[in-house]
């Protein structure tokens, strides 16, 4: 199965600077995410990996990556993963997010989103929890999010 978004990712990322181009294209569609300057590292059905560089623009007053920047990273990774994984007959929208801040977030952050259960075609809507783990450069988890997605048939 390949969605239009996943096909675009596979095509563009073969080009020089393709990951950068894909990341910019996503931010053109959803401009608020440009505030964290994300870079998509990997995208496949059921998994999306995005990183954000350590820059002053994403820092808080104590010099660590701001909590909302981490939330943006989590929501972006989860949304793109769902979009690249769902059957064309289905749509999604986030309903809520529960987060845990595990330690100070310093340096480049890497967020990986995966669904907690299979994404399926259905005649009725259903809740789909998505887990996102954000790690630092050492691979230590600094943040976890559980995003509640509502998946339903397209009208």
Q: Check: CB of residue 76 under 8 Å from CB of residue 134.
A: no
Instruction: Tell how strand 39-44 and strand 47-52 pair up.
Output: antiparallel
Instruction: State which CATH number among 3.30.1330.10, 3.20.20.70, 3.30.300.130, 3.10.129.10 fits the domain covering 4-153.
Output: 3.10.129.10
Q: What is the pLDDT along the chain (155 residues), one digit of tens a residue?
A: 689 999 999 999 999 999 999 999 999 999 999 999 999 999 999 999 999 999 999 999 999 999 999 999 999 999 999 999 999 899 999 999 999 999 999 999 999 999 999 988 999 999 999 999 999 999 999 999 999 999 999 98
Q: In the sheet where 90-101 sits, what is the strand order? A: 39-44, 47-52, 109-115, 126-135, 141-153, 90-101
The reported pLDDT for the residue numbered 1 is: 67
Tokens describing residue 81: 């993963």
Q: Which of 80, 84, 83, 57 is nearest to 68 (CA)?
A: 57
Q: How far apart are CA 118 and CA 15, in angstroms?
A: 31
Rg (CA), the chain: 15
The reported pLDDT for the residue numbered 128 is: 97
Strands (E), 3-125: 39-44, 47-52, 90-101, 109-115
User: What are the domain boundaries of the chain?
Assistant: 4-153
The reported pLDDT for the residue numbered 155 is: 84
Q: Which of 133, 117, 59, 45 is nearest to 87 (CA)?
A: 45
pTM for the predicted model, two decimal places: 0.94
Q: How far apart are CA 144 and CA 134, in angstroms?
A: 6
Task: Return the SS3 of 153.
Answer: strand
């Amino acid at each position: 199965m390949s969605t239009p978004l996943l096909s675009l990712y596979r095509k563009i990322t073969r080009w020089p600077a393709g990951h950068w181009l894909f990341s910019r294209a996503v931010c053109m569609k959803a401009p608020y995410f440009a505030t964290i300057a994300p870079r998509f590292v990997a995208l496949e059905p059921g998994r999306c990996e995005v990183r954000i560089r350590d820059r002053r623009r994403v820092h808080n007053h104590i010099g660590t990556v701001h909590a909302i920047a981490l939330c943006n990273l989590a929501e972006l990774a989860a949304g793109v993963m769902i979009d690249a994984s769902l059957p064309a007959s289905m749509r999604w929208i986030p309903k809520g997010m529960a987060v845990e801040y595990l330690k100070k977030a310093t340096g480049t952050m890497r967020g990986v989103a995966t669904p907690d259960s299979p994404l399926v075609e259905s005649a009725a809507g259903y809740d789909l929890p998505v887990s996102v783990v954000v790690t630092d450069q050492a691979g230590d988890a600094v943040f976890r999010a559980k995003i509640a997605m509502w998946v339903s048939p397209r009208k």
